[in-house]
Amino acid sequence: MTETQDLEKKVAIVFGGARGIGAAVAHRLARDGADVALTYVSAPEKAAETVSTIEAEGRQGLAILADSADPEAIRAAVAATVERFGRLDIVVVNAGIFRRGSVEDFPLEDLDLILNVNIRGVFLAIQATAPHLGQGGRIVTIGSNTAVRTSFPGSSVYSMTKAAVAVMVKGIAIDLAPRGITVNNIQPGPTETDMTSAVVEMLKPMIPVGRVGQPREIAGLAAWLASEEAGYMTGASLTIDGGMSL
């Protein structure tokens, strides 16, 4: 079986797939043979570009406006995906936000927002998609290495949400194992995207390999977790951070 056939005839949805890691995952899944729907909330032009990269691989793409803090929007995105492609096999939950602040002055509205997107939104995305997955279904969440190492002052809330996702995945993996569905979590370290471009040079000295990650590297791990070869792995959190957490 060749690399580009591994996910042939599969259908994926990537929540938060317009740019950065999410876009790289969407492109890689398409390269490996899947048709891919993706959600976005604030970058329609980036979403359209990502759909173009999917279609350039000879696959079908679909961009859906959906805020991951909105349960109705999540359910509607899943319904639109199944209506368009007729099935669902792979779910990647990448949507997330970052807010920084110390415990003394962290705004309540920011706390509510980050909890709604980074924890509640992940749970709701899995809850909405799980009924459509069959034997061999794959769920992959994109967490953060901050779940195991909080490196910066002011990152306690963000780290808390990513640790919650890691624990959530363990429980959901047990729930869905009898149906032959695997659930795993990827914990990237600093990764070069448009959102991190201003800080990558500052972060490099903290990483033993001497560089930040590339979105395609995270996407490669996600594609493997989505593949048949990863069928014996579930409930795991895999840290990919150049040794930063060691």
Signed CA dihedral, 169, 224, 238, 152: sign only: negative
Asked if residue 90 lies in contact with residue 226, where contact means CB atoms within 8 angstroms, the answer is yes
Distance from chain centroid for Cα 65: 16
Distance (Å, whole) CA 224 – CA 29: 10
SS3 63: strand
Where does residue 72 rank: exposed (0-12), middle (13-18), buried (19+ CB within 10 A)?
Answer: exposed
Where does residue 29 rank: exposed (0-12), middle (13-18), buried (19+ CB within 10 A)?
Answer: buried
Q: Which residues form the catalytic set?
A: 158
103 φ, ψ (degrees, to nearest 5): -60, -30
Which residues on neighbouring strands pair with residue 65, listed in sequence order? 40
